[in-house]
Amino acid sequence: MGDAGPDFQVNSLIHNRSAVNLNGIGELLGVKMFRMLLGFILAVLVVPAAFAQSGYRIQSGDVLQMEVLEDPSLNRSLLVLPDGTVSLPLVGTVKASGRSLDTMRSTIAGALAPNFAAPPTIFLTVGQLNPVTNAVNNAAAQAAASQVRPYGTIAVYAVGEVNTPGRMDVETGTTLLQFLAESGGMTKFAATKRIQLRRADRKTGTETVYRYNYKAVQSGAKSPVIVLREGDVIVIPERRLFE
């Protein structure tokens, strides 16, 4: 086979250079896409936590987690003392109580700056809340959780001579008789012949009272089927003398 002509060599050279350029562009785009993806992941994971802590004011008893990017040997936990201060390495005592995390981060960076060629990069988070704040948050969370009602249920209330008075969440469609069967029972002083179901109408501001003879039902009598509604109140009166 003869030698390739000049035109073939030029075309081959152009093709090879184009392949190199395309590969380089592909690698560059790959790196950029990876960086964008990494940045997006960090934003999803870090930003919500940072936003949640941005409005918090540091208090005595909190434990702050400090990281210094330029000198990891300075990374440590900082306990906010009763006087509201923390002890920083290379610096000494710095006031922390009452400050936001952003303000405290800037304060630490400024205090450590003389020890670096340029102001250091400080990462600061609340590693542990003080016991009082933690207890308040836990109580608030429990109170909020207690208000969460299972799907498909309604809230009704029992008062009087019932073993478990108060609010109960029952399934939609539960009847009064079913409620009495599953509510934990009535006390020995209950007037089972005079049970009341009180239903308020918020639109008209009126209340309808249904009377229910549970004792007759126990003896085999027929009874009206009363389906409970949201907010119904079941009243179990106390038995009268000789009743």
> Alpha-carbon distance 220 to 150, whole Å?
34
* Amino acid identity at 224: P
Residue whose tokens read 């539960």: 174
> Alpha-carbon distance 180 to 168, whole Å?
11
Contacts of residue 61, defined as CB under 8 A and 6 or more positions apart, other chains included, come to 79, 80, 82, 129, 130, 131, 132, 133
> Alpha-carbon distance 84 to 153, whole Å?
48
Each residue's pLDDT, cut to its tens digit, for the chain (243 residues) gives 555 555 544 444 444 444 444 455 445 445 455 555 555 454 444 444 443 455 788 999 999 999 999 999 999 999 999 999 999 999 999 999 999 999 999 999 999 999 999 989 999 998 888 877 777 767 766 666 666 666 688 999 999 999 989 998 999 999 999 998 888 889 999 999 999 999 999 889 899 999 999 999 988 998 889 999 999 999 999 988 877
Of 129, 133, 89, 126, nearest to 111 (Cα)?
Answer: 89
Give the SS3 label for residue 154.
Answer: strand
**Predicted structure pTM score:** 0.42
